[in-house]
């Protein structure tokens, strides 16, 4: 069971050329922001992931950011070799889970944080493309 955060920036290659000239790397900043947000979602999911033996909870992982073309992604994953079990626990709303554990243990925290993720990414990209005049011309 995996959830993937993806940020697609139209014209990323052109944007990167401009930002790299200014000494900034927006792809790296977006990746760091996605990774931080994914870790927040993961931490929230750890509070509600079903616990029987603890194997599902301990199988959780947040993968480092990956950049492919115009896409930057971070994956949150549960299950490892037991991924089919993780999917069943996540998707089957009929299973009883001792509260606070529940099904949709990844989807619920992600949906809860979506507006914050979007806001964090907007701040990073806005900061990256805005020139920093605060230190220019000061001696």
Provide DSSP, the chain. -EEEEEEE-TTHHHHHHHHHHTT--HHHHHHHHHHHHHHHHHHHHHHHS--SSSHHHHT-EEPPPEEETTEEEEEEE--GGGHHHHHHHHH-TTS---TT--S-TTHHHHHHHHHHHHHHHHHHHHHHHS---SSTT--
- Cα 76 to Cα 1, 68, 111: the distances in Å are 8, 17, 14
pLDDT one digit per residue (tens) for the chain, 139 residues: 665 555 555 666 665 555 554 445 777 888 899 999 999 999 999 999 999 889 999 999 999 998 887 788 899 999 988 888 999 999 999 999 999 999 999 999 999 999 999 899 888 877 776 655 555 555 4
The pLDDT, as a whole number, for residue 25 is 72
Tokens 């909870």: give the residue.
57
Backbone angles phi, psi at 69, to 5 degrees: 60, -120
Torsion sign over Cα 41, 96, 50, 75 = negative
Question: How high is the pLDDT of residue 13?
Answer: 63
pLDDT at residue 135, rounded to an integer: 53
What's the gap between Cα 5 and its chain centre? 4
């Amino acid at each position: 069971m995996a959830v993937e955060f993806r940020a697609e920036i139209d014209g990323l290659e052109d944007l990167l050329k401009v930002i790299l000239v200014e000494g900034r790397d927006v792809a790296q900043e977006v990746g760091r922001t996605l990774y931080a947000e994914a870790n927040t979602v993961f931490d929230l999911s750890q509070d509600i992931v079903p616990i029987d033996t603890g194997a599902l909870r301990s199988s959780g992982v947040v993968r480092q950011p990956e950049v492919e073309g115009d896409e930057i992604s971070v994956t949150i994953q549960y299950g490892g070799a037991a991924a089919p079990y993780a999917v069943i626990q996540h998707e089957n709303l009929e299973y009883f889970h001792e509260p606070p554990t529940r099904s949709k243990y990844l989807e619920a925290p992600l949906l809860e944080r979506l507006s914050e993720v979007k806001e964090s990414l907007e701040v990073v990209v806005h900061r990256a493309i805005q020139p920093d005049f605060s230190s220019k011309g000061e001696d």
